[in-house]
Structure 1
């Protein structure tokens, strides 16, 4: 599902600064989460992208590795467990994780309510993976071969199911 959430994604300042209010931006629903693009790679010359991701309870990512970008995840609301290179940690609002390219990682919302995180990719461009998944109507685990093929186009390697135990 592709849509625009609450109007324009950004307001530009005279010097090129971007202000993107909460909940506003180009959005899509993909792989059980809602992605709202706050700062598209196109707006930064490809150097960075920022997305707001709304994750339902027990939602998260499969175990994966990025070959092209570093990733920064910041928890805005809720409780999220992060698994990175064999280390598991549950964190809450204000927590920040730096996930360098090549690190094996996953996250899961381990709280009882939706979690809201921001995901910053350096360089930008990976955010378009979720829009491609949504446009193709792909779902996990039903469409894993097609998801894996699409992931390769973004230098993303899907390594297996999420290693973080679900709640309850």
Structure 2
């Protein structure tokens, strides 16, 4: 986004099309178990960013989120973005703003910025949802904490190195 004092030419947002199977695919560590053992940790979640701040002129980020059973982030808060959830498959438990609810296929939830929240795949099968961050930019955090996903390869198990990388990124991004 350009300010009045910015000498760069202003750009107009462009139409974005992302074919199925494309996007920025990442293996993302979720909340680690207290007794994490390398090679025995939970399977990592797969986040595929379909839209980012870079290709939406900062407007939003959209991520197709595939989450193994029991996975989800620790309780957290975004000061810089609202987060929306739309479930495609499975069930997710969401706690936010003093409310707790279960989202199933077709359900939607909105969590405004500045609200502590947590979400988890509460089922016994892999679940999938679309998440939207407004504005975009939060994807940079996930790119830093993740590993690039390899097509047609199962997600790896969480390791202590994944946890260290995520903790370092949390410090850099959120202090």
- Range of TM-score over shorter length: 0.7 to 0.9
Residue of 68, 77, 87 corresponding to 1:75: 87
RMSD (CA atoms):
2.5
Provide the C-alpha distance between the structure 2 equivalents of 1:45 and 1:65, rounded to a whole number of angstroms: 23
Kindly tell me: are residues 22 and 64 of structure 1, through their superposed partners in 2, closer, same or farther at Cα, counting changes over 3 Å? Answer: same
Provide the C-alpha distance between the structure 1 equivalents of 2:16 and 2:90, rounded to a whole number of angstroms: 26
Contact 1:126 1:154 in 2 (8 A): no
Please give the per-residue CA displacement for 1:7-51, whole angstroms capped at 9, x wherever unaligned: xxxxxxxx8332324442111101121110111211111111101
Match of 1:118 in 2: 130
Provide the C-alpha distance between the structure 1 equivalents of 2:119 and 2:95, rounded to a whole number of angstroms: 6
Q: Which runs of 5+ in 1 are unaligned?
A: 1-14, 158-168
Aligned length: 141
Q: Which runs of 5+ in 2 are unaligned?
A: 1-12, 30-43, 149-157
Residue of 17, 27, 30 corresponding to 1:29: 27
The runs of at least 4 aligned residues of structure 1 exceeding 2 Å deviation read: 15-24, 139-149, 151-155
Kindly tell me: are residues 67 and 147 of structure 1, through their superposed partners in 2, closer, same or farther at Cα, counting changes over 3 Å? Answer: same
Does 1:94 find its partner at 2:113? no
DSSP-derived class of the 1:54 partner: strand
TM-score (norm 1): 0.73
Provide the C-alpha distance between the structure 2 equivalents of 1:21 and 1:76, rounded to a whole number of angstroms: 18
**Greater radius of gyration (CA):** 2
Match of 2:96 in 1: 84
